[in-house]
Copies of this chain bind each other. A is one copy, B any other.
Amino acid sequence: MALNHVAWIAVDWGTSAMRAWAMGGDDRILAEASSAEGMGTLEPSGFEPALIRLISDWLPADGVVPVFACGMVGARQGWREAQYRNVPCPPLGPEVTRITPEDRRFTVTILPGLAQKRPADVMRGEETQIAGYQAQRPDFDGVIALPGTHTKWAYVSAGEVVSFQTCMTGEMFALLADRSVLRHSVQAETFDLDAFRAAVADTLSDPQKLAARLFGIRAETLLSGLQPASARARLSGLLIGLELAATRPYWLGQDVVLIGAPRLSGLYREALAAQGVAAEVEDVTAMTLGGLAAARRGEHAE
């Protein structure tokens, strides 16, 4: 069904999925759609058709609608590479990658990610969410954590991303929970929050013991009937505890904002609360759209 009044289209295009929103001139969401055609599944020539499959109903009969996209779509293996910008810098800047598709009903602007030289680090997509938060709180000075497959911790000050650090916690959890020997122990629909809290405290105080504690989950299942809900929570707590031990310089004594999926952000908030840090949780979709809208406004301002 064709949509009227689509002023622009927002796209969050990651490795394993793509989400798109038809946006009104006032940045209200008119429609949304998603597909599993992430960057990891596409050849360079496949991006335009994949996008059209998702947004064709939103394209105008005449005229051109601008598409603003962030995420892995701008990676070297993406549609077209959007060169990283180096921190310290504002999360968004004038350096964007513009594509003129074969289908002339839309144009595409890809926002680049950020890179840090030392310690080496990169992000693609999270910079847009940080910009979304800055759009609503331009004076924010503190730490933004973006829990996910590769959780990012960013120190933000005076409108710039000063430094950041990535932890592979989400990916390690998925690998250990679904593909390691621990998969026999942690299949649960429920979650034991006390076990989570204890495991976070445990790794935070003795991070070096992680290697041994992981197999302990399996052994306790075999020997003392550790329940799956507790085992799963403990695995999550051990890994998030290690991440908090690694990122202590980021969160200790700081204002922390969490931007991520609600359940995962809730676990990080829980873990930080036990360390005396009260974190604010923001909706990841709202931040992504806020950042893409800020990029669009920036284009208009040029």
Contact = CB atoms under 8 A, between A and B. Distances in A.
Nearest to A76: B222
A223 B122 contact: yes
A219 B122 contact: yes
Interface in A80-138: 84, 115-117, 119-122
A226 to B, nearest CB: 8
Interface string A164-186: 01111101100110011100000
A117 B223 contact: yes
Interface string A206-219: 01111110111011
Contact of A167 (B165, B212, B246, B248): B212
Interface in A179-234: 179-181, 207-212, 214-216, 218-220, 222-224
A167 B76 CA distance: 36
A208 B207 contact: yes
Given A120-B220, A179-B179, A224-B120, A166 B212 contact: yes
B207 A168 contact: no
Interface residues of A, number: 44
A175 B180 contact: yes
* Number of chain copies forming the complex: 2
A209 B242 CA distance: 8
Contacts of A121: 215-216, 219
Contact of A115 (B176, B223, B246): B223
A239 B210 CA distance: 11
A296 interface: no
A247 interface: yes
A208 B246 contact: yes
Nearest to A214: B168
**Could you say which of A76, A119, A168, A245 has the most chain B C-beta atoms within 10 Å of its C-beta?**
A168
Nearest to A212: B246
A167 B215 contact: yes
A216 B76 CA distance: 18
A271 to B, nearest CB: 13
B181 A122 contact: no
Contacts of A219: 115-116, 119-122, 166
Given A168-B180, A207-B207, 7 more contacts: A84-B223, A117-B223, A167-B215, A171-B180, A172-B180, A208-B245, A211-B239
Interface of A: 76, 84, 115-117, 119-122, 150, 165-169, 171-172, 175-176, 179-181, 207-212, 214-216, 218-220, 222-224, 239, 242-243, 245-248
